[in-house]
Amino acid sequence: MVIDDDQHDGNECGQTLAVIDRFRGPEPRLMAALAVAVLVLDVVTKQLMLDWIFATPQVVAISSFLNFAPVWNPGISFGMLAESGDLVKMGLTALAFVVAGWFFWQSRFFDRAQQLAGGFIAGGAIGNAIDRLRFGKVVDFIDVHVQSWHWPAFNVADAAITIGVIFWIYSQFFGQGTDEA
């Protein structure tokens, strides 16, 4: 396609280049690499569990405090909003992509802890959003327990989001702060 310079002013091109430039540099690459690593690990582990413990529902004891147990989570973290309608669930799915996009958009202003936080949160949020799009619910399988008390089941994406939130909180208290975020 040939673009006639007489039809477009330089401002449009400059604005487009400014948007593209926001995603160049080490900050977005670090976040993207971490987000992709989290996403791949999440998708692979969920598929392994779907083939193993979900196919013929079974609980597999890994240690005295850890099981792999098949749990379909129709809500969000710890089963919250499980009874909400499809509109809320689709809204939460869309929100996951918006939050991930915001982290990438702002990444060049983040300190290292915030970049790590963004990568963990974005990868985890997208991993669970993919489940909601594929199944209408999230695949959870990690069951941590002490005797008969069980923590709500979770997955790699949930763990990554939790780690990301810890990095984000750390950055707020001990980090360099941000320029614009």
What span, in angstroms and rounded, lies between the C-alpha atoms of 45 and 9? 49
Residue 143 in contact with residue 153, Cβ under 8 Å? yes
Long-range CB contact pairs, 44-49, < 8 A, 24+: 45/141, 45/155, 45/156, 46/127, 46/131, 46/139, 46/141, 46/155, 46/156, 49/139, 49/141
What span, in angstroms and rounded, lies between the C-alpha atoms of 62 and 50? 17
**Which entry of 42, 131, 143, 158 is annotated as an active-site residue?**
158
**Which entry of 42, 131, 140, 143 is annotated as an active-site residue?**
140
Phi, psi (5° rounding) for residue 44?
-65, -50
Residue 140 a catalytic site member: yes
Residue 157 in contact with residue 128, Cβ under 8 Å? yes
Distance of CA 24 to the CA centre of its chain: 21
Residue 158 a catalytic site member: yes
List residues with catalytic annotation: 140, 158
